[in-house]
Amino acid sequence: MPLSAGNFDSVLSPSSAEHGPAMGGYTDWQTTGRKFRGIKRRRWRAILWSLVYPYRGDRLMLTVSGAVVVAVALSIGVAAYNTSNNILFIALSLLLACLVFSGMLSWLNLRSLTWRLSVQAPLRAGKDHPAAIELHNGKRLLPCYGVWFDVATQGEKKHLRLALRERLDPQATTALEWTLRPETRGRLRVEVNRAVSLFPFGFLKKILSSQLKRDVLVWPAPVAYQRFPATAWTQPGQVERSLRAGMGGDLLALRGYVRGDSQRQIHWKASARLGRLMVRQYSAETQTGYVLWVRTAAEDWPRPDQFELMCSLAATLAEDFFRAGRLVAVVIDGEPPMSVRRRHDLDLFLDRLALVEPCAAPVIHHAASTSSRRANLLTFTPDGSRGVAAYLDGTKAATA
Amino acid sequence: MGQKRPQLNLSELHQLKWLLGGALAMLSAWSVLYVEVESWLWLGLITVGVPLVIRWPTLTLRIPRWVHRLAFPLFAALFAGDYYFGKEVMPALVRLSLMLLFYRAVTPRLRRDDLQLIVLGLFLVVVSGVLSVSLAFAFQIVAFTGCTLVLLLVMNLIEAAESGHPVVMDSLQTPPVWMQLEWLRLGRRLREVADWRVATLGVGLFGGVVGLSALLFFALPRFEFTNNLFLDNLITQKSKTGFSENVSFGDVTDIQQDTSVALSVDVSDPSQIPAQLYWRMLVLDEYAKGTFSTSDQLKRQLRDQRQPAQLITGGARPSGGDSVWIFYLEGGTSRYLPLLGDFSQLKFNDGPQEYAIHDTLRLLRLGKTPAKMFAYRVEGMRTASALGAPEISPPRDGAGKSNKGGSEATGVERDALTGPSFLEIKLDSAERARLDAWVTALNAPSDDAGAFARLATQWLAKGHKYSMRMTLPGGKEDPLVRWMNSDSPGHCELFAGAFTLLARSAGYPARMVTGFRGGSWNTTSRNLTIRNSDAHAWCELFDAKKQTWLRVDPTPGAPEAVPDAKQENPAVLLARISDRSWSAKFDGLRVFWYRRIVDFDQKAQAELARSAKVAIENRAQQIKQSIHRLLKEVGEWMQQPWDLRRLLAIAAVVAGGAGAVLGWRYWLRDGLRRWRSSLTHAGLDPVRREAGHWLRRLKSLQPPEAGVFECLTLQAELERLRYGPKIGWPDAREVFRRARHACRYPHSRSI
């Protein structure tokens, strides 16, 4: 896929590609030689000096082939000087010229190479997610070969090597993809540590430091739970009414179109007036809705695995209720209840669940205390030594 | 965008690597041909076996496992045996390298095996180059380097494509896919994936490598250690049989079949080249049963020097106008060095050498036959046909017994222990009687060596014609006597041998001399070239009256030696012997190789640096003078009175300049852009490309606060040019002008 003008924008304006620290997406483009591009005066001196004293992270390492070449060159050099034999001097000169040639080709290969990291949020613990390094060869004539990137993810000791296996033509872009599988919820840092190349002859390993990193939130893993056929799920008197979008008959509001909205709900007049797509929101009909209350007091959750399971169960129930249109609000500890009217609200709740930790003594907010008195309140407690149970208004409704 | 260019897949890369590895193995193995090492078995195996496995790689999987296990112990044992029986390290090492090279070339290779193949090949090429100093080494090392670099590149691409998971090749049942080879298909694929621009760039860069290596070769600092190369001592070279101490009939003629160059000689003053060139190498004073040899007495007179030396003082007295002769003797020719006569000073270019010298016979023998080209520099060389007595007696530290006071020169006072008689005839009485009869028939005046030589030569020419093919009549007599008794044609050895016997029978001390006669003047490299086909045998006859040895060449067609003849006009001489053929041009290249590369030393380096400095200074001076002259002419022209013609000339110049500028701006630049665009962007419109270029430049700048609106307008126009339909395009030239201005003056408001 060639770079479009939009893609170039991200190269040129560093902030344009940022979508927030924990939302995944693309990083900025990193370019080889950018360090020197920023130097307006005495650039050549900087380049030459960098050969002697490389920038932090930039290194040149000798490979086995390189060691063989150096050893052979040294042997021939010693023999040449010891004997003044010009045949040996010719061989020595050719070897040295080959080393220079190798350096030139390597420089040409890495020149005008840009890359960026792409991690598409949301991530979910225990699930596979695609991630990629987009690599663009900005040269006009020469292709690029044999570059690989060392990618590290937090919590994993071993670096992942992503190699450019084929030729990258001039002005072409490719994606080096891999599968990311976070083990636990929380904040995950994905880093491209360095770009490495052995091109062209494998004498030297050229290492370029890369500062690309992306923090993404990993939501709790979905968990299988058992839902009891309790009467609590269908108590007729326990009805929660709320001003929230639904499939009722009353027009509640107009809002901007988001992906996934039905096209039938587009309000064309308003869209034409405002210059962007607007959709109608109707008030929900009266139906049973639930409020999830996640309490993280450390005294309630002495076992970390049970706490993790609680987070997973809460996230799974929240998504299930949202899909069924029955999630009214969510509460975490003593915070004020947060109404869940749209997908974004649910995502925020899951983001919070990704980062929540057992706390010593959560402050119970007044609003939270009132929510405890609401109907259809779903709370969580440990169930036995390993399990977690969800209680609906005090009645055990589900376990995991 | 254009269609994506195809590229080689992993299997095709493996196939290419296999092909290159095989080619490299053969290329490096064949370099051994330049060295006198008996390795025909391994060379044959490589020449036959490697192409076979290149064609059918699956053959490599048919080799049983036990062969792989036994291979290296077997090679080690072969090497040990080779060294034990041959007593020479270098040939054994070369044969070991060939064995390993063969094994590596015909078995499946991983990365480390390919590296081993490269190192072995480099060893063979360098050792062959060092031992032969052949011009072919220059071509071979360049070809080897190119092939190796491509092989390393392909290996690297394979490693990148496999990403650390190499293909394992272990069984015949499941051969790797790449072994299903179709060379025609691979050739087609290579042609498809080849991009002529990248290929041209690659070739250009490789040319740059060769150029850079040449520059490095001349620039690398040199120090004069004057050591002999140790590799020389690890190999023994035999002389050509015609130039050894024992020469049978036909040995010299065998050398004549070979037309390759044996000797190249640089002469500082070509006017000193004599009309008759007889390059003396070896004196053969003994004859018995068809074989001429150097007698033990004469061998004893050749005094081995105790210490190797680089500089030798000869018997000639140095004078101011002496010419400098630089000899480049090809390896394996002989350990006796060719010389025209006596000399005042001789210097070995390769540092101190072991040698033996005979001052009166003017013979110089090295400790061993040089295996490679051997260069030496001679000053004050005498070129007369008569040897005469040494002008001075240089001090020697000879290990052998010294020759007292020219006893052999007189041919009368002789001592069996101190020198040969040059009169001895080892024939039976009947054969001697026959010789005496022939001498009597000559009817030559006594004590006139010159007349005898002339008459004997005429008598031989009358009875025998010259022919390279010799047919001796049958009989039990001495072969030379039989030949003299017949009318069979013969070659130089027979004529020289017969003359020697006749002269000795007549009481004149005589001896046979071998070496080269003649040579050609290479007009390309301006040097004398002497080929093996110039090998010759002639005689030297002692003239008691003049107390000197005369050169006599009894072979029919040879020029008559006239000691006091006037020197031929040098220009005429050079024109007569000049050679302008293609082979001479190639020989010129070889001489260039010897002069400028092989003999390049600290002195030559300093000379080269000085020459380069002088050349640069001269060029700068020329440019400076040209500018001064031009300015002066313009100034003078300006000071002349103005008229219509001058005004018209100025107007024409101004119009020409304006036309060039406008042509560039309105036609040439666009054409150039279109051409570049067609080269690199598969026909992308140059206006769109340039708009993209300015967009990128603009966005990299911080827009001025005051000119945000102008910047945005300009950006919008550029975006229309870049992405919009052509119908709504603004004036592209004007937009680019503003963009250029904006980039040049980022803080200006007037965009």
Contact yes or no for A84 and B159 at CB 8 A: no
Q: Which residue has the tokens 């009481």?
A: B507
Tell me: do A148 and A187 sit in the same domain. Answer: yes
Per-residue pLDDT band at A19 (split at 50, 70, 90): very low
Within this chain, do residues A23 and A135 fall inside the same structural domain, yes or no? yes
Judge: B216–A97 Cβ closer than 8 Å, yes or no: yes
**Exposure of A236 in the CB half-sphere (CA atoms within 13 A):** 0
A69 in any annotated domain: yes
The answer to whether position A215 is within a domain reads yes
Which chain A residues contact residue B209 at CB under 8 A?
94, 97-98, 100-101
Locate all alpha helices (DSSP H) within A59-167, ordered by sequence. Answer: 64-83, 86-110
Q: Would you call B141 exposed, middle or buried from its count of C-beta atoms within 10 A (0-12, 13-18, 19+)?
A: buried
Query: Which CATH number covers residue A59?
Result: 2.60.40.10
**Mind listing the pLDDT tens digit for each residue in B492-521?**
888 999 999 999 998 899 999 999 998 899
The last residue of one of the domains, among A159, A188, A219, is A219
Indicate whether A233 belongs to any domain: yes
**A40 contact B CB<8A:** no
CA distance B726 to chain A (A): 18
Whether A315 and A206 map to the same domain: the answer is no
Cβ of A148 within 8 Å of Cβ of B163? The answer is yes
Question: Which tops the pLDDT comparison, A371 or B453?
Answer: B453
Shared domain for A22 and A109, answered yes or no, is yes
Given CB atoms, is A68 within the 8 Å cutoff of chain B?
Answer: yes
Nearest CA in chain A to B5: A169
In a domain, A164, yes or no: yes
pLDDT of residue B24: 95
Same domain, A211 and A102: yes
| Whether residue A231 is found in the same domain as residue A363 | yes
Q: Is A90 on the interface with B (CB under 8 A)?
A: yes
pLDDT band at B406 (very low <50, low <70, confident <90, very high): very low
**Tally of domains in chain A:** 2
Residue B287 φ/ψ, nearest 5 degrees: -135, 130
% of chain B at pLDDT higher than 90:
27
- The stretch B331-352 carries a mean pLDDT of 88
**Chain B (574-603) residues lying within 8 Å, Cβ to Cβ, of chain A:** 597-601
pLDDT digits (tens, 9 = 90+) for B294-310: 888 888 887 777 788 88
Which chain A residue has its CA at the smallest distance from B202's CA?
A105
The kind and range of the H/E element at B374 are strand B374-379
Give the DSSP H/E element, type plus range, for residue B714.
Answer: helix B708-723
pLDDT of residue B230: 57
Domain stop point among A190, A219, A248: A219
Size of interface A-B (CB pairs under 8 A): 156
Top residue of A8, A10, A13, A94 to mutate, by most chain B CBs within 10 Å, is A94
Residue B391: which region, alpha, beta or left (left: phi > 0; alpha: psi -120 to 50)? Answer: alpha
Which tens digits make up the pLDDT trace of B234-256? 666 666 666 778 888 777 777 77
Instruction: Give the model confidence (pLDDT) of B365-381 as tens digits.
Output: 998 888 778 899 999 89
- Is A294 within a domain? yes
Burial of A192 (0-12, 13-18, 19+ CB in 10 A): buried
Which residue among A9, A72, A105 sits closest to B119, beta carbon to beta carbon?
A: A72
Q: How far is CA B290 from the centre of its chain?
A: 38
- Closest residue in B to A196 (Cα–Cα): B160
Choose, out of B127, B213, B675, B711, the residue to mutate when testing the contact with A (most A CBs < 10 Å): B213
For residues A188 and A334, state if they share a domain: no
Residue A128 placed within a domain: yes
Burial (0-12, 13-18, 19+ Cβ within 10 Å), B174 = exposed
User: B320 CA to chain A: closest CA distance, Å?
Assistant: 31
Residues on chain B touching A8 (C-beta within 8 angstroms): 695-696, 699
Burial category of B314 from C-beta neighbours within 10 Å (exposed 0-12, middle 13-18, buried 19 and up)? buried
Domain for residue A393, yes or no?
yes
pLDDT score of B411 more than 60: no
Is residue B314 a contact partner of residue B344, using CB atoms and an 8 Å limit? yes
Structural contact between residues B115 and B151, judged by C-beta atoms closer than 8 angstroms: no
User: Of A108-122, B238-252, B593-607, B655-669, where does mean pLDDT reach its minimum?
Assistant: B238-252
Question: In the structure, what pLDDT confidence band is assigned to residue B210 with cuts at 50, 70 and 90?
Answer: very high
Smallest Cβ–Cβ distance between B149 and the set A83, A85, A201 belongs to A201
Residues A204 and A234 both lie in one domain: no
Task: Return the pLDDT at A133.
Answer: 92
> Quick check: B228 and A105 CB within 8 A?
no
Q: Give the residue from A165, A185, A219 where a domain finishes.
A: A219
CA distance A341 to A226: 26
Residue A93 lies in a domain: yes
B214 interfacial to chain A (CB closer than 8 Å): yes
Whether pLDDT at B287 is above 80: yes
What residues in B contact A104, CB-CB < 8 Å?
Answer: 205
Tell me which residue range forms the domain holding A186.
12-34+51-219
- Both A333 and A306 in one domain: the answer is yes
Calpha distance B404→B412 (Å, rounded): 13
Cβ–Cβ below 8 Å for A94 and B209: yes
B695-732 burial, b at 16+ Cβ within 10 Å, e below that, comes to bebbbeeebbeebeebbeebbebbebbbeeeeeeeeeb
Residues A176, A71 within the same domain: yes
Same structural domain, A78 and A113: yes
**What's the mean pLDDT in B48-64?**
90
CA–CA separation, B492 vs B478, rounded Å?
A: 18
Interface test with A, best of B203, B216, B602 (most A CBs within 10 A): B216
* Partner-chain contact B197 A141, CB within 8 Å: yes
Residue A233 and residue A165 share a domain? no
A101 vs B414, residue with greater confidence: A101
Closest by Cα among B702, B694, B685 to B741: B694
User: How many CA atoms, within 13 angstroms, populate the side-chain half-sphere of residue A30?
Assistant: 21
Are A104 and B205 within 8 A, CB to CB?
Answer: yes
CB of A163 less than 8 A from some CB of B: yes
